Amino acid sequence: MLEKCVASPPNILATLQAVQAAFGYVPLDTVPAIAAKLGVTDSDVRGVLSFYHDLRTEKPGKHVIRFCLGDSCRATHCENSLAAIEKKLGCELGETSPDGKFTLEKVYCLGNCALSPNMMIGEEIYPRLTPKSATAALEKHK
CB of 132 to ligand FES, least distance (A): 19
Is the Cβ of residue 96 or residue 112 nearer to ligand FES in the bound state? 112
> Which positions touch ligand FES (CB under 6 A)?
68, 70-73, 109-110, 112-113, 116, 118
Q: Residue of minimal CB distance from ligand FES?
A: 70
Cβ at position 109, least distance to ligand FES in Å: 4
Residue 91 CB, nearest approach to ligand FES (Å): 21
Q: Give the C-alpha separation, 100 to 58, whole Å.
A: 12
The residue among 19 and 85 lying less far from ligand FES, judged by its C-beta, is 85
For residue 90, the 8-state DSSP code is: T
Beta bridge partners of 103: 64, 96
Work out how close the CB of 131 gets to ligand FES at its nearest, in angstroms, rounded to a whole number: 17
- Under 8 Å between Cβ of 19 and 2: yes
Burial of 101 (C-beta count, 10 Å sphere; 0-12/13-18/19+):
middle
- Do 51 and 43 contact (CB within 8 A), yes or no? no
